Structure 1
Amino acid sequence: MTDAPLTDDREPARVVTEMIDHVLRLAATWTAWDGRPVPSEDRIYTPHKAIRRVADHLVDHLAEIEDRLAGRAPLPDHWHASMITTAADLAPFTEQDHDEARSRLTRLARIWTARLEALTPEQLDHSPGDGWTLRQVAFHLGGSVYYADAVGDLSG
């Protein structure tokens, strides 16, 4: 793993839900996307790719912490992640796509909130198995705004 993420006094569930709220605010503007991928560092992003990456990141780390809490070794990560841009990533982003993204990410936010709020402060600051503490994982997920920020606000 990379360097451990910095944490602060915010509730970890709030960090995750604020990230998702930020992504969805930007996604509400993406129906104006002109179809050209947006370069960011050595990758390109599109509205669909940003939503895919945020959702995959949430699913991947949720599976990781559930395994760790159950005393199992997490499955290795085999996502192609941002390295690939699929044909689906290049599709126009419609109101229906925004609605689907909102439904998907809102449900993931609820799952993360339920999981994190069920943990004690001691559990949040402990690392069951190898890896970051569960608090650090939540703060790491807060960085998923990167994918949406790469596409940006397309309202103007």
Structure 2
Amino acid sequence: MITELIQESVDDVLARAATWLGWDGTPVYRDGNAWTPHKAIRRVADHLLDHLAEIDCRVAGLPTIPDEWHGRTVTTHADFARFTETDLDEARSRLTRLAACYRARLQHIDPQTLDEKPQDGAWSLREVIEHVANVTYYARMLDQAEAS
């Protein structure tokens, strides 16, 4: 069900994040970027927030606000901090709330509206949601199996 896609993705990200406790501070270099636990969580939250704002604007009939994030190409000093149980708890709280916002927003959108293609050629809302559900990409960058 479309209303559960984001929660399922958040659950996957958080399960992966639980394996990052005790991270040794060495970034993983993949996809042309340096990846750390904090960066992965930051990118997941940013991505969820960006597209939630897009959905809200579109449903309200307002112009969307362009994405001004630097995205995955920037790794901040804060991204290199140890990833602790407190960080995991904060991530769990933040990402779970964002997933709840998606559920709240999507439960009131009828299937026809989800599939309408905007005149400007943008994705339908369903396509946006399916794109956002791929937010696990950021967490997968730290998977040891993929790092080898």
Structure 1, unmatched stretches of 5+, are 1-10
- Alpha carbons 2:37, 2:79 under 8 Å: kept: yes
TM-score scaled by structure 1? 0.88
Residue 44 of structure 2 aligns with which residue? 54
1:113 aligns with 2:126: no
Which fold has the larger relative contact order, with Cα–Cα distance below 8 Å and residues 6 or more apart in sequence?
1
Q: 1:102 to 1:91 in 2, by over 3 A?
A: same
One-letter identity of the residue aligned with 1:112: Y
Q: Take 1:129 and 1:104, find their aligned partners in 2: how far apart are those partners?
A: 34
- The AA in structure 1 aligned to 2:132 is L
Letter in 2 for 1:87: H
Using the alignment, how far apart are the partners of 1:150 and 1:30 within structure 2? 12
The answer to whether the aligner puts 1:37 opposite 2:27 as a matched pair is: yes
- Identity of paired residues, percent? 52
Q: How many residues align?
A: 144
Judging by fraction of residues, say which structure has more helix: 2
Q: TM-score, normalised by structure 2?
A: 0.92
Describe the shift of the 1:114–1:153 C-alpha distance in structure 2 as closer, same or farther (beyond 3 A): farther
Tell me the residue number matched to 2:143.
Answer: 152
Q: Name stretches of at least 5 consecutive residues in structure 2 with no aligned partner.
A: none
Partner of 2:125: 134
- Listed as ranges, the matches of 1:85-124 within 5 Å are 85-124=75-114
TM-superposed deviation, 1:127: 3.3
